[in-house]
Amino acid sequence: MSDETTRKKVALSGVQPSGNLTIGNYLGALSNFGPFTDEFDCYYCVANLHSITVRQVPAELRRRTYEVLALYIACGLDPDKCTLFVQSHVHEHAELSWMLSCFTMFGELSRMTQFKDKSAKHADNINAGLFTYPVLMAADILLYQADVVPIGQDQKQHLELARNIADRFNGIYSPTFTVPEPYIPKVGANINSLADPTKKMSKSDTNENAVVRILDPRDVIIKKFKRAVTDSDNCISYNNGSDGVRNLMTIYSCFTHKSYDEIEREFDGRGYGDFKTAVGEACADGLADVQKKYGELMADKSYLESVMRAGAEKASHTASKTVAKVARKLGFVQI
Ligand code: AQP
């Protein structure tokens, strides 16, 4: 049998340690990583190279790198069953990113909505890294020949670009990269801000009432949901409700696994007060185990470092094979 038929399919994803993770990161990404580990060869990275497109306080970036790794494990990822690693520990990410940048068009990058949003948000620091971020993301994915990439809706456009880059390179040099497919969850791919439900919930949002963090204490979670923006209609309906109501119904559905119809029946004739309390409690209950496990893991830094070391070794092994293959195809002399 050929390598291709015996090869286990690969899943890859990552989360930036650019702030305290939100339930958007949890529902759109982290909570979906675990189910892939049985069937797929999984690589999950702490994407710290991506984080520096926006200014970071070094000590905070360092601390958050440990935190994201601990959250991966607390969310159920077993380091013995998948490769958990820190992106900057595998130098091939930066190397392949440069190579792929020569196969990515300026016009393509200019169309990326995240670039437009982030340049507007950080007008004093529109650096080249912010612009070429999607090329680094393509390198992250293509290095491991990923078949599937679990992501939230906001990353779909970047994934499309990674597919285009892979296709372009394969077309010029013969098949080199697996062309990845996105895995976007049906519910939870698009969790919005509690303060402005027309916008994505982002970990770097400075309005604390807009975001629910995975590690927020129970009473804080409940308080934030009580303050969530809805409207004055008292209409708990997915089709007829406001953006705020739909967002809360989505969050409630993710944590309770109830359908929108069931939620509508449950709150028929009841007000927003009851509904928001129920969403807050369901969210706090759903995160309780993750928070407990996280606390235990963060108390054992040497264990986290051993996971980082083993992950870096495994990831580097795969990544170096891809970079060698690309270098050979490009015509770089190998010694
Ligand atoms: N609001 C969201 N709803 C659903 N999924 C989301 N993701 C992020 N926000 C939501 C998914 O989480 C994964 C990791 O995201 P990231 O760390 O790479 O950065 P991001 O997408 O830019 O997330 P943030 O929270 O908005 O970070 P900042 O504020 O630093 O820019 C991705 O799969 C993403 O889709």
pLDDT digits (tens, 9 = 90+) for 28-70: 999 999 999 999 999 999 999 999 999 999 999 999 999 999 9
Q: How far is CA 277 from CA 79, 194, 219, 236, 243, in A?
A: 36, 14, 11, 14, 18
**pLDDT tens, residue by residue, 132-179:** 999 999 999 999 999 999 999 999 999 999 999 999 999 999 999 999
Q: Please give the model's pTM, rounded to 2 decimal places.
A: 0.94
Residues 6 or more apart whose Cβ sits within 8 Å of residue 215: 20, 21, 291, 294
Active site residue 329: no
Other beta carbons within 10 angstroms of residue 198's beta carbon come to 11
Which is nearest to 211 in space by CA: 253, 260, 247, 249? 247
Q: Whose CA is nearest to atom 34 of ligand 1?
A: 152
**pLDDT tens, residue by residue, 231-284:** 888 889 999 889 999 999 999 999 999 999 999 999 998 999 999 999 999 999
Ligand 1 centroid distance, CA of 129 (Å): 17
**DSSP 8-state code for residue 9:** P
Share of the chain above pLDDT 90, in %: 93
Ligand 1 centroid distance, CA of 85 (Å): 18
Which amino acid belongs to residue 174? S
Cβ of 17 below 6 Å from ligand 1: no
Ligand 1 centroid distance, CA of 39 (Å): 25
Cβ of 150 below 6 Å from ligand 1: no
Q: How far is CA 86 from CA 1, 21, 45, 215, in A?
A: 34, 16, 5, 21
Which is nearest to 317 in space by CA: 136, 144, 162? 144
**DSSP 8-state code for residue 193:** P
Q: What pLDDT, on the 0 to 100 scale, is given for residue 121?
A: 87
**pLDDT tens, residue by residue, 95-126:** 999 999 999 999 999 999 999 999 998 899 99
Q: Whose CA is nearest to atom 23 of ligand 1?
A: 202
Work out the average pLDDT over 4-20. 89
Name all domains of the chain by residue range, CATH numbers in brackets. Answer: 3-184+301-330 (3.40.50.620), 208-295 (1.10.240.10)
Share of the chain above pLDDT 70, in %: 99
Q: How far is CA 15 from CA 155, 227, 278, in A?
A: 11, 27, 29
Work out the average pLDDT over 205-213. 96
Q: What pLDDT, on the 0 to 100 scale, is given for residue 48?
A: 98
> Coil, strand or helix: which one is 206?
coil
Cβ of 197 below 6 Å from ligand 1: no
Other beta carbons within 10 angstroms of residue 190's beta carbon come to 17
| Length of the chain as a residue count | 335
